[in-house]
Amino acid sequence: MGRYFNVTGACDSNIHYMVDLRSRLEKIKKMIDQGAWFTINRARQYGKTTILNAMQSYLQKEYTVISMDFQFFSHASFKNEENFVRAFSRELLKTAEKSGIMPEETVSRLKDFESGHISTADLGMLFGCLSEWCAGVKKPVVLMIDEVDSASNNQVFLDFLSLLRGYYIHRNERPIFQSVILAGVYDIKNMRQKIRPKEEHKWNSPWNIAADFNVDMNFQAGEIAVMLKAYDKDHAIGMDTQEIAALLSEYTSGYPYLVSRLCRLVDEQVAGSEEYPDLKAAWTRAGFLEAVKILLNEKNTLFESMVRKMYDYPELKDMIYSILFTGREIPYHSLNDVLELATMLGFIKNECGTVAVANRIFEMVFYNLFLTSAEVQATDIYKEAVRDKNQFIDHGHLNMELLLEKYVIHFNDLYGDRPDTFKEEDGRRYFLLYLRPVINGTGNYYIEAETRSMERTDVIVDYRGEQFVIELKIWRGNAYHARGEKQLSDYLDYYHLEKGYMLSYNFNKKKEIGVKHIKVGNKVLVEAVV
């Protein structure tokens, strides 16, 4: 079997298609050379374990590397100090026996700890043993612990970490590891907050000494293109690797799991289907969009975890809703608890000082979550869309003009006499509620980030390889409206489209309700006024 796109567990360049990690490894090594203690905190399935595995090989010439994974520690291991010392010694011995990095005396003491021969073994005894070993080795020792979240609710681990910190700070007097790397979703401060009351440890823990870890874990478009070229060479496809890499970057913002998952879907599910019979047909823009549709309709652990977190933290859910539907700009501030949580989970990013959803795929997931609840499906506009949806598809093509005509009729019948209660965000929500059941399962939609404001919103719809750009806006006078038409015309150039759509919410008493065609340069705008 040849190489493939991996979406479960750590990646190995010998058997998986993956981006070149060398630039990241070089940056991390510089931190280790400086003797840094740091945490690699990234969201689920962000490539943390892959980086740690690669670091182990990358450092072996200059360092003695101890790599542990707390997933292999049982719950009983954290019951008390003795159990933890036994478990830690056992994992340490596995590494030592493989590489022969420890003297027999140290191995013997660790075996006594692990076997329980020293029934009073505690953390102090463990660190005494580790300190003696680190003092005598030829190469500095680096400790890496993966999945520290597995220990997050256990006081004994925090006691271990506190003692490790003490040795680390005073390593000139009490030799210990050259560098300490902890990997997981939660950082040290967050873990401590989960155990003790928030009032007691709301701010930085006194022993949180982690250096800033600013290595970008996202895949860049250029890196993705190199990976795709290797795949293309193996399969002799002749794809436009730059175009596909740009699409992957545009939709995922380089989130490692999403990049690999979409590639795998194109390779294994899109290719060989009726519409895309071979790899050459699949590795196209249309084939990529088909993979996006499959991804958004599947049930995977990442999306399930995202939804759970939204319900676990109502403030987080409210913030995401506000970003998506109201267009309100939220200043990014690292000391805001909700923003810190959302960033740590990978839901949002800091975009020029403003909070933004981390990537387009996540945005689509969140929109689907908000627009498919039982409460939403009970709304009148959603019910009308369900009744109308079959008439908008003609020989596999979406008739967007007819959809807007019907939407105008239903909106005015249902809400036209209630302009005083209409809110800015309602226009976006009502239209998406009507659109959702029509394209559900066949098409996708997203909001163009650059126009997600209270004044203007561009909805981009992908349906069976066709794209539609619909501008939503509140009527604010003829001059403002004319500028909007010009903006939409310019925007169509970007998408290489000749026709665009404008949905205007106009609450003037003399407004002319309906749909009409407007010529702007060489573009045709279909304008719907409600």
Nearby residues of 253 by Cβ (< 8 Å), 6 or more positions away? 218, 349, 358, 359, 360
Give the residue among 393, 408, 523, 525 at the shortest CA–CA distance from 463: 393
3-state helix, strand, coil in the chain (%, to 5): 55, 15, 30
Give the single-character DSSP code of 96. Answer: H
d(CA 523, CA 442): 27
pLDDT tens-digit series, residues 139-148: 999 999 998 8
**Burial environment of residue 530 by CB neighbours within 10 A (0 to 12, 13 to 18, 19 or more):** buried
Residue 208: what pLDDT? 56
Residue 238: what pLDDT? 96
d(CA 494, CA 354): 24
d(CA 208, CA 169): 12
Ramachandran quadrant class, 176 (left: phi over 0; alpha: psi -120 to 50; beta: rest): beta
Residue 201: what pLDDT? 42
Residue 450: what pLDDT? 67
pLDDT tens-digit series, residues 302-313: 999 999 999 999
**Burial environment of residue 122 by CB neighbours within 10 A (0 to 12, 13 to 18, 19 or more):** middle
pTM assigned to the model: 0.89
Task: Give the start-end residues of each E strand in 32-80.
Answer: 37-41, 64-69
Strands 499-505 and 514-520, by their bridges, are: unpaired
Residue 126 amino acid letter:
L
Query: Using CA of residue 266, residue 272, residue 276, residue 277, what is the dihedral sign?
Result: positive
Residue 116: what pLDDT? 77
Residue 424: what pLDDT? 62
**Burial environment of residue 340 by CB neighbours within 10 A (0 to 12, 13 to 18, 19 or more):** middle
Residue 475: what pLDDT? 74
Task: Please give the chain's pLDDT, 530 residues, in tens.
Answer: 689 999 998 899 999 999 999 999 999 999 999 999 998 888 888 999 999 999 999 999 999 999 999 888 888 888 899 999 999 999 999 877 766 788 888 999 999 999 877 767 899 999 999 999 999 988 999 999 998 877 766 788 888 988 998 999 999 999 999 999 999 876 555 544 443 444 444 333 434 566 788 899 999 999 999 999 999 999 999 999 999 999 999 999 999 999 999 999 999 999 999 999 999 999 999 999 999 999 999 989 899 999 999 999 999 999 999 888 877 789 998 888 899 889 988 999 999 899 999 999 999 999 989 988 877 888 899 999 999 999 999 988 999 999 999 999 999 898 877 666 666 668 888 999 999 999 987 889 988 866 655 556 789 999 988 899 998 888 766 655 666 677 788 788 888 899 999 998 887 777 788 999 988 888 899 999 98
Strands 456-463 and 466-474, by their bridges, are: antiparallel
d(CA 422, CA 416): 9
CB 311 within 8 A of CB 322: no
Task: Give the start-end residues of each E strand in 48-178.
Answer: 64-69, 141-146
CB 225 within 8 A of CB 240: no
